[in-house]
Structure 1
Amino acid sequence: MRYGNFLNPKADSNNQFLKIWKNRINGLFVDKTDFINETLDRFGMDNNLIAFTKPRRFGKTVTAYMLACYYSKGADCKDLFSGLKVAGYAGVKQINGQEKTITYEEYLNKCNVLFLDMNNVNSKYKNYVRRTAKIEEVTDIVDFTEYLVIKELKEEPEFASILAKAGISNIGLNDALSEIHQKLNISFVFIMDEWDLIYREYRDDEPLQEKFIDMLTGLFKATEGLSCFSLAYLTGILPIKKYNSESALNNFKEYNMLMPGKFAPYFGFTEEEVAKISCQPRCQISKELLKEWYEGYKIRLYDKDAGTSRDIDVYNPNSVISAISEDKCQSYWSNTSSNAEAIRLINMNYDGIKDDIINLISGGPVLFDFFTFQNDMTSLDNKDQVFSLLVCLGYLGCREFPNAGTERYAYVPNREIRETLIDIVKGQPWYSSLPVVARSERLFQAIRSLDAATTAEIVGGIHNSPYVAAIGYNREDSLAFCLRSGLIWHTESSYDSFRELPAGKCFADLVFVPKSRADLPIMIIEFKRDYTAEDALNQIKEQDCAARYRQDGDEREVLLVGLNYSSETKEHHCLIEKM
């Protein structure tokens, strides 16, 4: 049997899943092979068409290569999968008219797989365009994609004679697969990674996009095409393109950041998986710090049998692994093209997007509706659609709430994304004129100069903003939000901030510690609701919250801030002392 790039790929050095598995000795391998179980349940069934889309660097390509490792005849991976989660699979299927209990070995390396990594295809196409000699039937990347796959089908002896007998010189992919299926009763597993590349890389070429979706429609909506596949799996960043309100491939069961369904645990690393990684000797970073930097994508998981739902806390897997490998938490969200896209979207400023982005960075939520989102990068004419795209790109998280339909709350998920968005905003010509920037400077200087009245006034103004009203103001957490959001534009680059930091005999509500500059003060802040600012300040002193900063000759200035909110008078009071 011939091993190809597209037909029955083998598990070799180009397989990204295999690379990660081979490095499992370092303790950073996370076993997600139970994802294969879901595809086994659907294999050969009516619901065997799956579209799974999530942001860059969230492991979608690794998952596609994992499926190729498992299903492809060209791979020999029994030893690989025998010790992983998928080995525990047990299911019941109708095979040849009889009910049969099957294990994970039923289809292991026994299927004809067509694997299309569209990034790889695009690279090959660009090299082809630069060539002098051209192929007559190839005029664009869609033609080129079909040409490459059919070329490999014709090079497989078992298929070559069938296609030759078809008597069609320029046979299309759908026709080629139909001939093979009808004559040999062979079905394929179809895997396409980066399915949406055409919509991202050729975003202004609508005829090409329509031609591409016509190719997929021919494969998966026409009866003769659909019967050729035991399983189809598409992965990318964008959900399947919609025309009006309907998906162009609405027979695919689709899972994405807006509607994750039962696949929520597979959108990234879960809290349990990160906790396990953090216990490995290779990891020198606490799970709490990993959580602050890279978690926050809360995706709702529904249990239909129990009639319940819960939020799954998902981490960016690439960033977690990068931080552990580099022994440093920082922003690994440095894809230039992706950031350029976020800049373009923010600067559209539909319905006051800039103001909403500022609020989101400060920690507030924004309500949006993804119903009219067309799942592409160009059909954008309102804020809802822009926020939908930012969620798909991973710059925003979104949270469902009961009976909300297609409405979601958008929010900035973690510190990595917040720092990235702050850098983006600071690079825009309109940044210096933002009122929140001046307010942030004024608040910091008020605290530093022990001006408690001005501090209380500014925090009160933030409290009375519509964004804070949207999240409620009935807990001390809300006071923390007001102060943190007020300071963020001045302190983000020069301070680390911590909520509930162990200090002295208790936990300090909020602490700002300079990253490096010795001339900046440490700020320890305690919040009280319906007590007094004196109570807040006294708690800092009585619990000796500043003790950790008086050790080893640390001579930095320490400011103690007590802040109170009265639910009866709706007033704020503040006291500030210097140690």
Structure 2
Amino acid sequence: MENYNIFFNPGIEDFQISLNSIAYIDKTELILHINKLLNTKKRYICVSGPRGFGKTTIVNMLTAYYSHSKDSINIFDNEKISKNKNWNRYLGQFNVIKINIANFINKNIYIEDMIDTIYEALINEIRESIPKLRSFIKENKSFYKIYQKIYNQTQRKIVLIIDEWDCILILKRKDKEFQKKYIDFLNNFIERKEYIVLTYITGILPIKKYNNTSSLDIFDDYSMLSPSFMSEFIGFPENEVKNICNEYKLNFDLVKEYYNGYHLKQQYHEIGDNGTIIEKNQCVNIFNSFSVINAIINKEVKNYWNKTKEYNIVKQYIQRNFNDLKEYIEVLLNGDRIKISIINYRNDLFTLENKNDIIIFLINLGYVGYDIETEEVYIPNKEMYDIFKSIINTKLFKHFEQSKKLLEATWNLDSDTVAELIEEAYNNFSNKQNHYENSLTSSIMNAYQIAKEYYTILHVDDGRRFDDIVFLPAPDHHEKPILLFELKEEDENLNTVNDKIKFQNYPRNFEDHYDKMLFIRITYNKNKHISCTIEKYIKK
């Protein structure tokens, strides 16, 4: 009996699980589209879209179809693809290398450890499958040379498949160095050689364009924004959902209200078997397959999308009201649409610069729909409507709104508003301590929570009973002023900001910002009433 490989020619096992699953929908005719791209300039395919819309099932299907096997492959005999001419032309004809990046990551992993783990896991299976390569592979860590040797030994070309390629980018979205090293790894892993007949990768995000020498720049993206022939293979089509609802006794109208609403434009040309050009131009209406399947399993139509991994990321962006995102969300909740531009979107979690970028990010995640003809976004169904409604109605969202108002008042030298909001924050702060100064410090930190998006927050010991608080602009927000907070009792001696800077021993990295510094003095009395003065430092 043949060993069950996971990475090198994994075979049919994972696809067999899909066939055995609830609400399996036959998408095997996608293989016919892919076959036409093999060993052409279009053989680099990136399929992106929401989690749970069937990308991994398709990965397992392609793996089962292309993987070389000593045994006959019968798993497709009763599928739609088998009704087509020459459907089995490439069945079992290639060496498939399949990697699911999600299997190799955790929050604390180092990129070097992850790469070594992937390499060792793959190499161990190649050694077992091709004994003649054991000594060569032991001494080599060049993917290029390994692929070359595999081809020379087997005379079979290679299919590379990477599932969830971007999950590590989302997990490590704040670690630029990690991401750079990961992209370097992908560039080494993905070879542009003649014996690689197909490279197929999936993720939530389309591939960002890096530079002309990057292997990632050669990929064609098939996404929620531009699905092309993939449109009919993403999610669940309406006619199939009707059949599923009949089989499992679910209310189709209710399922449609909750999970429908993604309208993908199928617009492309292909060459038929007789050489004629076939034009495809129609709208495909799809359902959220993740939620449909969960409704079947639980026998209940409700919101399942808030259980996905990316929910907390979306929730964070909305609750922090990034670039006044709430305004857009409220327009969408009213049933209106918003026109957006997708031309300059960078597809980079580091450079989400405005509401437009965030909305496109939400399209990729499946939270909003996109009409390619009108270039408008909309809330597709009740499931997503309820998610947005619940997020903006939370106490945390209102807290971030207040925090943003406080920060803007500080920048605008509005000392009365700052005093009012800080006093309100203190009165509402739940963890009051015995020492008023300490609890006030904690209240200020909590009230300015939104500032963490723009600043690194430092505590500077000035020899008194509690520290000054300094908000130092983050590298990406160097245009913001330093915020220097001092807490004083009403009867303490008061100095000007210039005196404070002159006589206090602050770190040297403040020097570059002295012409952009605000000195915020928070004064409190025995009745716990707070007043505020804000001075702008004038460089002499």
CA RMSD of aligned residues (A): 2.9
- Aligned-partner SS, 1:392: helix
| Structure 1 position 182, deviation (Å) | 4.6
Q: CA deviation at 1:244?
A: 8.0
Give 2:330's aligned amino acid.
I
Aligned to 2:47: 52
Unaligned runs of 5+ residues in structure 1 are 91-102, 130-137, 403-407, 435-579
Residue identity matched to 1:231:
L
Identity rate of aligned residues, in percent?
A: 28
Deviates more, 1:194-203 or 1:422-431: 422-431
Equivalent in 237, 261, 267 of residue 296 of structure 1: 261
Displacement of 1:193 in angstroms is 0.6
Q: Equivalents in 2 of 1:245, 1:42: separation in Å?
A: 22
Distance in 1 (alpha carbons) for counterparts of 2:171 and 2:31: 30
CA contact (8 A) 1:49 1:251 kept: yes
How has the CA–CA distance of structure 1 residues 159 and 393 changed in structure 2, closer, same or farther, with 3 Å as cutoff?
Answer: farther
CA distance in 2, matches of 1:411, 1:85: 34
2:172 aligned to which of 196, 202, 217: 202
Aligned twin of 1:483: none
Partner SS for 2:281: strand
Q: Which aligned pairs between 1:224-373 and structure 2 lie closer than 5 A?
A: 226-243=193-210, 249-280=216-247, 282=248, 284-304=249-269, 309-335=281-307, 337-373=309-345
Q: Report the AA paired with residue 346 of structure 1.
A: I
**Compared with structure 1, are the counterparts of its residues 377 and 69 closer, same or farther at alpha carbon in structure 2 (3 Å cutoff)?**
same
Q: Show the 5 A alignment for 1:55-70.
A: 55-70=50-65
Q: Distance in 1 between matches of 2:30 and 2:308?
A: 31
Alpha-carbon distance between aligned partners in 2 of 1:333 and 1:75, rounded to the nearest angstrom = 41
Cα distance, 1:234 vs. partner?
0.3
Task: Quote how far apart the aligned CAs of 1:431 are.
Answer: 4.6
Q: How big is each residue's C-alpha offset from its partner over 1:180-203, in whole Å with a ceiling of 9 and x where there is no partner?
A: 335654321111110112211222
TM-score calculated relative to the size of structure 1: 0.62
The one-letter amino acid paired with 1:420 is I
Residue equivalent to 2:156: 186
Residue 373 of structure 1, CA deviation: 2.3
User: Quick one: structure 1 residues 385 and 76, their matched pair in 2 at CA, closer, same or farther if it must change by over 3 Å?
Assistant: farther
CA distance in 1, matches of 2:324, 2:212: 25
Q: Is the CA contact 1:270–1:313 (under 8 Å) kept in the aligned structure 2?
A: yes
Q: Equivalents in 1 of 2:97, 2:396: separation in Å?
A: 48
Match of 1:22 among 20, 24, 27: 20
User: How far apart, CA to CA, are the structure 2 residues paired with 1:345 and 1:75?
Assistant: 51
Assess if the C-alpha contact under 8 Å between 1:296 and 1:414 holds in 2.
yes
The number of equivalent residue pairs is: 393
Give the conservation status (yes or no) of the 8 Å contact 1:192–1:235.
yes
Matched, 1:7 2:2: no
In structure 1, what is the equivalent of residue 492 of structure 2? Answer: none
Alignment check: 8 A CA contact 1:142 1:208 kept: no
Q: 1:81-92 alignment to 2 at 5 Å?
A: 81-90=76-85
Q: 1:427 deviation in Å?
A: 1.9
Give the conservation status (yes or no) of the 8 Å contact 2:187–2:214.
no
Once the two structures are superposed, residues 369-416 of structure 1 have per-residue CA deviations (whole angstroms, 9 ceiling, x without a partner) of 2223222322211111111111111111111126xxxxx311111011
Q: Counterparts of 1:557-568 in structure 2 under 5 Å?
A: none
Match of 1:454 in 2: none
| Aligned pairs for 1:520-531 within 5 A | none
Matched, 1:72 2:67: yes
Q: TM-score, normalised by structure 2?
A: 0.67
CA distance 1:285–1:77, change in 2 (3 Å): farther
User: Counterparts of 1:309 and 1:75 in 2: how far apart (Å)?
Assistant: 41
Report what 2:406 is aligned to. Answer: none
**Structure 2 CA distance for aligned equivalents of residues 368 and 75 of structure 1:** 52
Tell me what 1:150 maps to. 123
- Relative to structure 1, the CA distance from residue 363 to residue 286 in structure 2 (aligned partners, 3 Å threshold; closer, same or farther) is same
Question: Cα offset for 1:350?
Answer: 4.3
Matched, 1:104 2:104: no
Q: Which runs of 5+ in 2 are unaligned?
A: 270-276, 402-540
- Select 1:121's aligned residue among 104, 125, 141: 104
